[in-house]
A and B are shown apart, each in its own frame.
Chain A
């Protein structure tokens, strides 16, 4: 059984809220992104999103966009990203997912991209600009290789659309909690819970909620409405801060994650 399925089972059995952390590969440099990922994992993240930087990240907010620019300026190649993902997948307990954009997989060749990911112990993909109807064959390839294609659902989606996305996807569905893009503070308002209930009603998969999460209080409040909480931009900001101050990245990120997950 892949780690992703194990983690989902564990979340269900323990009746806990799962958690997914995030790093941009090569930001601020390869070594730091590795240490950060390990720290987040050791702090208790069930899943880790490793973002392969893309030159035109139009579904990301400014925080991750800027981190991607820095990484690419450092000369990071997709082969480096795969090496990093392999090292992380091998050494940590978390289930590792690749987050990137369609052209990165397309340029690599979708078949090779899936095969390579499977070989190095990656469990699936989050590719926001690849909708199921134009998926370049990724869903079928994922199925064949026992990987998960994770689709995003966003406010404005109809009941049918959410059902369709959950049928085409695998593992869990990634529900965007706010109209807008990653990285702005989300309050857990009635609007958010109403939206998550709507996703819950129509999705055949567990629900992960992302965008704008940065406190344990938010995660605590989200627990009744979803299965997994996701923090992305929050970690990019923490990594930036940590790197700037010369702190031990692994230790600091571990502590931060433990604090974030302190929801009891």
Chain B
């Protein structure tokens, strides 16, 4: 029998004893509420009327015809409130926290997307919100800090350690142990100790459920391939969730290839050189050195710039159920521009990894076949990165003028 909280040998809960009571409570409450009809119906009501679900499934006709291969469909998660799939999970967990009587939500954020979604959910549900963010990230990601504050959240710069995401995680965990009765720790990706990976998948599986209903009611069959980008893995595990048992559907996860997997500057755990490890509470593949120290990662998209991968995805990688590959920063920018110009879709740089791979394989498939890509977020948030990459001079000129005015 499989041990609770494990997916094959992956997952588990490797947590200090001081956090154990919090996890025991969380596990009990989640098991109870996921079966609770009134909780689920309140969550679905918020998804419909606040998030704007279901999000559309769009046939990318122009791109498909230009490439001359398989038909490409896009699940447009970017049209959800706050512009990405992150809100599905943030709202679900915030509602759970509220139901179990917590007053304050704490969260960590790297680039700020999860922080923005959490702050938004807390504003809607009238919960106090504190977001821990590495001091370096606070400086780099000012627009997201601004939006979190507009939602009424308190952003706390973390000055310890390397002053980035992992230090923000540590600081948030510390805060949680100090005040476990009143606070709820809202984790944003399908990672961490059990039950977080299961819980995040539960709230993100709405993407897969809608995709299946929309595609099969419209076309009367199953798609041939699903493609999603993979950071920690919340959008991909949610998107793949309803097809994991349907073996004829190929599932492909695209990791951040950065400057190429040979360059050492990437975040490809499965398709690159990740190694089995036990880090941040769970067992999975991590980019680490020979001693087991976490390595720095690189990606043009902040959301994929993470050294670990969710344990359920690692498991499906080990069985071969989900295939993994990567796309480089350069391919990502090209895919971004291609879909913007030909389909009117500004995809997030994270999601553009999945689009880059769709371009690669569609051409080798025939027009009778179908690919569905999860466009997990929209790309307006990436203005500063994309503009610098594709239109540097004008962009810098503009920024200078803004400063002077």
Contacts and interface: CB of A to CB of B under 8 A. Distances in A.
B14 A130 contact: yes
Interface in B7-49: 12-18, 20-22
Contact of A104 (B17, B180, B292): B292
A134 B12 contact: yes
A54 B161 CA distance: 11
- B14, B15, B162, B288 — which one has the most chain A CB atoms within 10 A of its CB? B14
Q: Which of A56, A65, A66, A129 has the most CB of B within 10 A?
A: A56
B18 A154 contact: yes
A221 interface: no
A152 B16 contact: yes
A179 interface: yes
Interface in A3-37: none
Interface in B222-275: 275
A165 B291 CA distance: 28
A128 B286 CA distance: 20
A58 B178 contact: no
B170 interface: yes
Counting chain A CB atoms within 10 Å of each CB, which of B166, B170, B294 scores highest? B170
Interface in B289-346: 290-294
Nearest to B160: A62
Interface residues of B, number: 36
Interface in A55-73: 55-59, 61-62, 65-66, 68-69, 72
Nearest to B179: A179
B166 A157 contact: no
A156 to B, nearest CB: 3
B161 to A, nearest CB: 5
Given A154-B17, A157-B21, A108 B292 contact: yes
Interface of A: 54-59, 61-62, 65-66, 68-69, 72, 77-78, 102-104, 106-108, 128-131, 134, 136, 151-157, 161, 165, 176, 179-181
14 contacts: A56-B280, A57-B170, A65-B170, A104-B291, A107-B292, A128-B16, A129-B16, A130-B14, A130-B278, A152-B17, A155-B18, A156-B22, A157-B20, A181-B174
